[in-house]
Structure 1
């Protein structure tokens, strides 16, 4: 009976662990990106971890940057995380792992090369054309033709549609 109780207690000690919530952040990133992009899209919830082995003592130091990079790099268009939760993991007594976990929603920048077509709902800033330049682009097209082309253009924001409409109609 004593041997069984000792085995149960010993297995509980070796299999137990602890995860401690260290920080909550609204936005976090380890990447350089343009804050004025205006083409950010909220992505899926992801998790990144950096763990090190423990054999009597830790064999290294877990790195939060590595954990955050692993989470962000789950999507090639992601530049950061929102609603971030940082946790410290300790699943070791004499043997096991010790680490850091970063969890958050991806912040995806649709303005990056190769990312625009994936996010049709993303806001695209209007292209600023002056009236003479816009008329030079299509000098032979009538207003009706240009309005028909504008109506058939997919993915325009309301502001961009209004700007182009005013340009075609000559309203400034």
Structure 2
């Protein structure tokens, strides 16, 4: 085990004959509703394991994003077992795409086993602001920004290719009767 900071603790490795299923409330969008008073620390629990797994397994196509639709700029903390793994500074309305490094940290955070509940796949989301704040924080799975441009380019090339190969009139070449020549 390696860490950039001093770490201490106990590692327990166990084998199991069966896998305990996680709660199946993992939809494509995870919404956290925020309505908290001045400097009040509220922790919300969200299950993001499935979203992170899809994004890491299909890293070239999908990414996890966070949409912070908050009334004030704030800090968003993602943690589990009292350990903060990701800290984001957000503006009032901001969309954040998680980098591959952040996705790997999210996966590690999701897989952490806390002593209170060893089977929990939920992570803690907390929002810190110096003033009263309300709004939503939404997690979801999406294509990267350039993905639609890439698909449109491929569809355009396929359409041009199909028109050239399949829809052009052709006639038999008189010099070589067994070959087809395009007009």
**In which range does the TM-score fall when normalised by the shorter chain?**
under 0.3
**Structure 1 length-normalised TM:** 0.26
Q: Which has the higher helix share?
A: 1
Relative CO higher for 1 or 2, CA cutoff 8 Å, sep ≥ 6?
2
The structure number with the bigger radius of gyration is 1
